[in-house]
Each structure stands twice: as structure tokens, then as C-alpha cells.
Chains A and B, each alone.
Chain A
């Protein structure tokens, strides 16, 4: 834990309340803060989770099954704690302990744990929680995060929701724990939009699909009639941009994932592709094909004005904005092979930044601004890596037969990409890896899947 996180002390902070104007208020939850100070000690915690170092020792954390009422609710409560445990484990920053090692049995949401029982099994943090059915059928879910060595509650919150939203509750609680212990925002209450692939390799059917970041709740957004590629989230709303071959006219589209409403982005004389939103969600940068050349354009979604950003006899594509919106990184073969460039958001001063061996493409700027992720092809292998925006500090995170198309978790600590396998029966699957290059996990999908794009935090 960073010093600033420590300094925040033991009284949990309130989540900012926000109303989503367009949103379906299915999950109407009231977050209250639960705070118990045991023993009245000073706000001093021993938990140290320094996430600034390259190699991270995961923090041992105990997450006993949440307490439920009877039957179904007990199962739900246990499921919530399991989703929390899986989220934290996948992050690589936490090592959830085996429940078989637990000495104390938590039987009440309000009890102060016997910290000694958790110290002897080396738990540094403890999460307790309960799910209580309300008279109106809704659930009240609550949790407390304890600093075992200091013997104090670090944070606590409760939520009211309908039972079918239990996974979101688990993700929101995971984010609260992650943030409290690392000092950084979490990324668990997020979704992934991707391309679902079915059918034989030479006749693939591709559909847009969306799911939770852990692969749960997948559903389709298109029916597979048209070839669809490269969906990307609007950072500010429930909207995606993607490319579709509708009526054999390859173009960039916008899709509102709540209403299903779809529209073409701009009126261009040729094929448009490789779209990506600006950080404010008000513009879409993309490539426009003109004969043998592709150049980068930006369309202002409000004024509908189009601005041309590049003008070369090359393929300029895959634009991605810096989080402050001031710069754009992109792929170009203007120098003879695919390489990564950075230019001003107005197209000024393009500079090549990739100078390693091989070719570089699919640059994506980290939401933190500090790194650009890319795909590198070298000696027949495809790697996912990161470099600083000036091209220095290049690191490969994973390399193999075919890895492509990184997308960043909103906190800039984890990347998702797709990994393809060779041969007629091969196909792509989604994987995640953290910035250290460790903690590589396959993300479950219903079928083959490619082109993942991570949403911003939903809450």
C-alpha cells in the first residue's frame, strides 16, 4: 500500500454517487459505509502493497464465504465471495488463502474478527461480508475489509440490489478492496466488447459480443450477417465504434449498446476502418482508404466536421489518442515497413517511436498515459509489448505464434489481447496479462474470440 493510501486512514471513503441519465436503473443500490473501529487504535496499518515495483509479492488475503440466509441466499453469498477471490487472484496483486486453513468461522456480519486467528495463518487482510434478503425481495450485500495486523477495519460498504445483479456487486466490492489496498483504481466492474468467431476458418461468422471482464454474462450485439471487426468503447458512454462490411461496403459504425441503435460514422468516399474514440468520446479517429493509401481522419461527432490528419502515400492506420487528447499514436509504413508513430492530435509533427527489430503495429495508448502497448512481429513470432511514448523502455510481455491487438484495463495495469493458434482448426482466444508480463490468464468466451476492447469502469 502506498503512503497516500495509508494516510487516508481507516474511515472508508464514500463512493461518489452518480446518476446515469440514460441508464436502466435495474441495479439501484445504496452504498452505505460500514465502519467499525476495533480497540480504538490509531489509524496505522501494517499492510504494505507496493504496486510501483516490477516484481510484486502478492498480498495474502482471507475471503471467507459471505454469510447468507438459508438455501439460495447462502449459495449466492458464497458465490459473491468466490467472484471477489477470483478477481483479486487474477490481478496478481493478491493471494487469496485456502479457506481450509481458516481457524475462525465468521458467523455474523457485525462481529469483530479474532485477529489472532487470522494472523497465525498469515492473512494480512480479511474480507467479511453478508447477503441479507430484504422484505421486498432485494438483497442487501455488505462487506468489511480488515487489516489483520493492525486489528482494524479499513473500509466497509453495503449495497441494495436485485438478486440477478449479484456479480456486479462482487465486482464493485472487488474494486473497493483493490483500491483501498493498492491506492489505485480497480478494473473489475468493467466489460469487454469483442468479436465472437464461429464456423470454419475460411468462412468465419463474426458477431459483436459483450461480456463482463471475467467472461461472465456474454451476449451478442450483432447477428453475424455482416463481417464485423475491431469494436472499441466510447470512454464516456455505453457506445462502441466498430467496422462492418454491410452490403459489401466496409465502413465504420457507431452502436449504442443499450438501445441497439446503429449509424454510419461520417460520409466518406471510400472504405473507413480502424476507428477509435477520443478520450472525451466526442470524436472518432479512423483510416480512410484512398486508392492504395490509407490516411487518418478525425470526425467530430457533434459538428460532423471531418479533419484530415495524415497525408502520405502510405498506409496510416490504427490511431489511438493519448488520455489527455493532445497526441495520437498510429501505425504507418511510410518508412518502408510498419512502425509506430506519434503525432499531435492535429496531425502535426509525426515522429517514429519504434526502432526495435521487426515490425510494429496496433499501438494503444495506456489510460494512464505512461505507456503505449503494441503488437510486434519478429522472426515469425507475434509479441505484445509496451514502450514509453518516446519509444524508450520497450518491454515484451508475451510472445508466441500469434498474439495481437492489446487493450488496456482502465487502470492501465492489465492488458487483454487475442492469441491465435495455427492450422485449419485453430482460432483466436482472449488472454490477459499484467504489466509485469506475469499473471497470464485465458479469458473464457463461448467460442473463438478476437479483438477485445476494455470498457471504462462502470460505476
Chain B
């Protein structure tokens, strides 16, 4: 009755607080648009693309193909573009390429990484079927991480579902 029950001291806690690792927010902007998918960039004002240049590839050949929602097969329009790419790459054998696969934002992150990978793989396979040595083609998937169009509209989403052929050694 009315007892104050005092229970003996509990154990000693060694609780963690990760005090270390306060990585400062060195907000260095990422460098050039390595992942943006714009390949050789736009044509300079009033300048004509030099044949065999990155501009020539982007402007005259077309560096990208587009996909339907959740689809990874190259469309007939896409095959026309890839035929031109294959022809151009055969003409300029000094280039190697990276095929970047992308998905739109209307999907979940991990599945979209797989989706982008399958798109880039299908583009690679098509280029190989058109005579390009597979050792010249690397693939990478960015899933939905690198949209080029950011509006909330079908027109934007369809621009983002793409595979972009980027000249890997355009500077050389």
C-alpha cells in the first residue's frame, strides 16, 4: 500500500548519433549536359552542319526515336531514323555511340529504369541488324530521371519516351 516502488537502474544505453559525416552541401552544378540527351547540341545560329559533325548527326540524321506508352518496340517512323543513323555511322566509323533509354514520368522509378533499358537495347539491336558493330554501341537507361519536356501533357510525355543516340567521342 502506498509504496513507492523504485526499480533499480536500467542499463546504460549507447545510442547512436552519427555525428560524423556532415557532408557539406557543396552544390556544384553537374557539368555539361552529359545525360540530357541532346547529343551534339543545337545548330549554331545561321551555321550549316558540317558533314560528319555532331550537329550533322543531330540535325540531318536525327538522334532520337520515340515510343508509345509502356511500349519498347521501335516504331516504323523510328526505324526510318535508325536506318539513317546506321548509314551515317557506317560513313563515319570513327564514332562510337551511347544509346540512352528514357521513360516518361507517368510510371514508377524502378520499373521505368528497366523500361528505358529495354528501349535502348532494342535500338542497339536494330542498329546492329543494320550492320553496326555492337562494340561501337553502349547502352544506358535513365528511366524517368532525365525528362526533356516538363509540361503535364501527353505532348511532353511522348517526347520523354525516347531513345537518344549520343556520339560518344564527338570531340575527337
Contacts and interface: CB of A to CB of B under 8 A. Distances in A.
A binds B: yes
B35 A40 contact: no
B111 interface: yes
Contacts of B28: 223-225
B161 to A, nearest CB: 15
A258 B35 contact: no
B9 A337 contact: no
B15 A20 contact: yes
Contacts of A25: 14-15
B150 A202 contact: yes
Nearest to A38: B2
B3 interface: yes
B45 interface: no
Contacts of B114: 273, 287, 289, 294, 315, 317
Contacts of A34: 6
B13 A24 contact: no
A32 to B, nearest CB: 5
Contact of A273 (B110, B122, B148): B110
Contacts of B117: 271, 289, 292, 294
The interface size bin for chain B is 35 or more
Contacts of B110: 230, 273-274, 287, 317-318, 331, 361-362
Interface in B1-19: 1-19
A11 interface: yes
B121 interface: yes
B136 to A, nearest CB: 16
Contact of A168 (B17, B30, B147, B152): B17
B interface secondary structure, majority: loop
B152 to A, nearest CB: 3
Interface stretch (A121-129, A301-309, A416-424): A416-424
A458 B10 contact: no
A198 B27 CA distance: 10
A17 B3 contact: no
B77 interface: no
Interface in A309-341: 315, 317-318, 331, 333, 337-338
B20 interface: yes
B145 A219 contact: no
Given A18-B13, A39-B2, A405-B108, A424 B19 contact: no
B130 interface: no
B145 to A, nearest CB: 6
Q: How large is the interface on A (under 10, 10 to 19, 20 to 34, 35 or more residues)?
A: 35 or more
A37 B98 CA distance: 73
Interface string B12-44: 111111111111111111100111100000000
A458 B27 contact: no
B97 to A, nearest CB: 13
Contacts of A315: 111, 114-115, 118
Interface string A273-315: 1100000000000010101111000000000000000000001
Contacts of A225: 28, 30
A227 B35 contact: yes
A351 interface: no
A259 interface: yes
A148 to B, nearest CB: 19
Interface string B52-87: 000000000000000000101000000000000000
B13 A40 contact: no
A273 B113 contact: yes
Contacts of B108: 318, 331, 338, 361-362, 375, 377, 382, 404-405
Contact of A40 (B1, B36, B72): B1
B141 interface: yes
B128 to A, nearest CB: 11
A220 B35 contact: no
B9 A224 contact: no
Interface string B121-140: 11001000000000000001
Q: 3 closest A-B pairs (Cβ-Cβ)?
A: A17-B11, A422-B152, A315-B114
14 contacts: A11-B7, A28-B14, A33-B7, A202-B146, A203-B30, A204-B145, A223-B26, A224-B28, A248-B35, A274-B110, A315-B115, A318-B111, A404-B109, A420-B105
Interface of A: 11-12, 14-20, 22-40, 157, 159, 165, 168, 198, 200-207, 219-225, 227, 229-230, 238, 245, 248, 250, 257-260, 271, 273-274, 287, 289, 291-294, 315, 317-318, 331, 333, 337-338, 361-362, 375, 377, 380, 382, 402, 404-405, 420, 422-424, 426, 450-451, 458-459
Interface of B: 1-30, 33-36, 70, 72, 98, 105-111, 113-115, 117-118, 121-122, 125, 140-142, 145-152
Given A25-B15, A202-B148, 16 more contacts: A17-B10, A20-B16, A29-B13, A36-B5, A40-B1, A258-B16, A260-B20, A287-B110, A317-B111, A317-B113, A318-B108, A331-B111, A377-B107, A420-B105, A450-B109, A459-B13
